[in-house]
Amino acid sequence: MLQIIDLHAGYVQEDGSIHEILKGLNLNIAKGEVHALMGPNGSGKSTLARVLIGDPVYKVTQGQVVYKGESVFELSVDERARRGMFLAFQYPMEIPGVSIANFLRLALNSRLERKLTVFEFYKLLKNRMALLKMPEDFAERYLNEGFSGGEKKRCEVLQMTVLNPDIAILDETDSGLDIDALKIVAEGVNSLRGPNVSALVITHYQRLLDYIVPDKVHVLNAGQIVKTGDQNLATELEQIGYDWLKERAAVHAQS
């Protein structure tokens, strides 16, 4: 589904130079797999999410990203979305004047060969909102305007379940959620799991992975994946933290 090869990327500074954040990242996500990406602050997790979806703030200087056999760098942001890439933002934007229902109907129909009728769309929307335990009038509110942090995250997951992407990238969707909201968000993510849908779950905490069990867990540090394992790796990180990464960096520096 997604192949990342020797990816180097960063943001352009005021003097025109590039501050490199990703420094040779390699990652393969097969169809139907759920991968978790963990790591300390500043390691490049959110940068990777933004580069994958095509945020123009970031510039790729080296490497490849191949999505379903096609280079994503040849695709604009909207083309990536139409081909089934989805990003749940860490800090979702507010869009006053645009209702959630209208936003989702337009977004979904832009992906489908046959546009849904209003009746078909609202039937789908109500089904997904029931899954996430959302009141039906939520759909008529303006997108994220005046939402609490938890409401914004639920809205992101609602978008994901309605749009039914081929690969979902969740950038710290669990941040700021209480345990009940966390479970509901996880249920929404798990409802999409299947042989044709992949996901990259970016998180600081092991608790989310109690509900969304990943096939693989990766540790990102200083722009590179330094360790890969199964769900037990996330449990281990919860217990020992990331101090071992400093010791690892010191050993590499000496060698």
Digitized pLDDT (tens) for each residue of the chain, 255 residues in all: 899 999 999 988 888 888 999 999 999 999 999 999 988 888 888 899 999 999 888 999 999 999 998 999 989 998 999 889 999 887 888 889 999 999 999 999 988 888 899 999 999 999 999 888 888 889 999 998 888 877 888 888 888 889 989 999 998 877 777 787 788 778 878 888 888 889 999 987 788 888 888 999 999 888 889 889 888 888 888 777 777 776 665 555 455
Q: Whole-prediction pTM value?
A: 0.86
Per-residue confidence (pLDDT) for residue 13, from 0 to 100: 85
Q: Which amino acid is at 106?
A: L
Q: 128-155: b or e for each residue (b if 16 or more CB lie within 10 Å)?
A: bbeebebeeebbebbbbeebeebbbbbb
Label residue 15 exposed, middle or buried (CB < 10 Å: 0-12, 13-18, 19+). Answer: exposed
CB of 166 closer than 8 Å to CB of 197: yes
Rounded CA separation 37/173 (Å): 12
Per-residue confidence (pLDDT) for residue 175, from 0 to 100: 73
Rounded CA separation 240/198 (Å): 29
Rounded CA separation 230/213 (Å): 9
State whether CATH 3.40.640.10 applies to domain 33-51+84-254. no
Per-residue confidence (pLDDT) for residue 99, from 0 to 100: 93
